[in-house]
Amino acid sequence: MNQNIKPIRANASRKYEITRADLPLHCPMSGMTLWDSHPRVFLPIEDTGVAVCPYCGAEYKLKDE
């Protein structure tokens, strides 16, 4: 990880918009701190455009590009 980029606190937000560049989707996402989060889980979002994390309830929406 780049030392100049401050990590995002995991599970700090309940809704996230992602792009195809973020796929495959997993929660917590890259760039989030891991020490205060749940185990990484991969979420299927490609078919429906939405996904909900079973651990923290975070909602993900795939943005149209």
Q: What is the pLDDT of residues 20-54, one digit of tens each?
A: 999 999 999 888 878 778 999 999 999 999 999 99
Q: Which of 5-19, 28-42, 49-63 has the highest mean pLDDT?
A: 49-63
What is the rounded distance in angstroms from the CA atom of residue 23 to the CA atom of residue 33? Answer: 18
Cβ proximity of 60 and 25 under 8 Å:
yes
Q: Is residue 7 part of a domain?
A: no
Query: Does some domain include residue 21?
Result: yes
Q: What is the pLDDT of residue 36?
A: 79
pTM beyond 0.95? no
pLDDT at 13: 67
Number of domains in the chain: 1
Predicted pLDDT of residue 9: 65
Please indicate, yes or no, if residue 5 is contained in any of the structural domains: no
Could you tell me the CA-to-CA distances from 5 to 1, 26, 29, 31, 62 in Å, in that order?
A: 8, 20, 15, 8, 24
